[in-house]
């Protein structure tokens, strides 16, 4: 009897140890077992005042600000598991022939870490393109315009003038410019998100505002183009979703805003 009890306790102990090892292995393989880590990368590069800049990120926010120095200063904060940090690579290259400075984030596997950028650029530099698949793009105080795109995130432009082209799949777009559009274009497209544009009252521009599911509002008077419509119960609903015409005297400047699911608002500075 005692012999059988000893065998039972031995068998029970071995099973507990085996189960314990399997459990530890199982939990270690889960994603949240590996706590996130952070790595900060800083870089400063001398560039011409009138250089061109392209920024491509995979996952993370991008904040760009101008300064008076002929340098680009980059601070990139990588956040994620140790495996994701190792797989995510940041490259910064400058071509002296084209005066083009490129910042690019790439990843060797399907799960990159988050990389948040804070970037200082020369105030006369032209930020030609800024892209991130997931994250917010912020840019302020520039007279050279910008082209910005994000798949999931907001776009916020404050004090930016010149040619502006923005688009987001899921997020809002906010544009503030304290100078008339002149001959430039502001283009903002959002699939799921609101669009708000602040411009001076004295702006002269062609205006195209349209939302599929939402409403269009403008604090600045718009002279609508002549249109032929059926006067019925759907007329008012159509006018709430679309406005094509001119602000001020019209001219060559263009303000084109479109969202599928969201509201559009134009306000005066």
* Token pair in block for residue 2: 């005692």
Strand pairing report for 71-80 and 114-122:
antiparallel
Cα–Cα–Cα angle for 111, 112, 117, rounded to 5 degrees: 155
Which is nearest to 128 in space by CA: 163, 174, 169, 87? 163
Model pLDDT for residues 127-185, shown as the tens digit of each residue: 999 999 999 999 999 988 999 999 999 999 999 999 999 999 999 999 999 888 888 89
What's the whole-model pTM score? 0.84
Q: How many angstroms from the chain centroid is the CA of residue 237?
A: 31
The full set of domain ranges for the chain reads 33-200
Residues 48-80 have pLDDT tens digits of 999 999 999 999 999 999 999 999 999 999 999
- In DSSP notation, 42-54 reads EEEEE--TT-EEE
Whole-number percent of the chain with pLDDT over 90: 71
Give the sign of the dihedral formed by CA 154, CA 159, CA 160, CA 164.
positive
Calculate mean pLDDT across residues 86-92.
93
Give me 20's structure tokens. 């314990």
Burial of 11 (0-12, 13-18, 19+ CB in 10 A): exposed
């Amino acid at each position: 009897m005692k012999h059988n009890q000893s065998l039972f306790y031995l068998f029970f102990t071995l099973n507990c140890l085996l189960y314990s090892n399997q459990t530890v292995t199982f939990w270690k393989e889960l994603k949240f077992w590996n706590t996130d880590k952070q790595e900060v990368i800083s870089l400063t590069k001398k560039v011409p005042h009138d250089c061109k800049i392209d920024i491509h990120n995979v996952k993370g926010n991008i904040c760009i600000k101008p300064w008076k120095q002929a340098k680009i200063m980059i601070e990139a904060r990588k956040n994620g598991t140790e495996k994701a940090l190792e797989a995510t690579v940041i490259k910064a290259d400058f071509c002296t022939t084209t005066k083009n400075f490129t910042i690019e984030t790439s990843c060797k596997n399907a799960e990159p870490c988050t990389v948040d950028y804070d970037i200082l650029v020369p105030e006369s530099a032209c930020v030609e393109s800024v892209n991130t698949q997931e994250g917010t793009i912020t840019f302020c105080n520039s007279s050279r315009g910008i082209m910005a795109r994000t798949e999931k995130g907001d776009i916020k432009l404050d004090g930016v003038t010149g040619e502006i082209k923005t688009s987001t799949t899921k997020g809002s777009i906010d544009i503030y410019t304290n100078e008339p559009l002149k001959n430039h274009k502001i283009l903002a497209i959002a699939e799921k998100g609101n669009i708000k544009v602040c411009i001076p009252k004295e702006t002269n521009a062609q205006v195209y505002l349209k939302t599929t599911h939402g409403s269009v509002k403008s604090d600045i008077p718009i002279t609508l183009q002549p249109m032929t419509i059926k006067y019925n119960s759907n007329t008012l609903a159509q006018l709430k979703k679309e406005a094509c015409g001119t602000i001020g005297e019209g001219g060559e400047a263009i303000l084109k805003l479109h969202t599928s699911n969201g509201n559009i608002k134009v306000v005066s500075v």
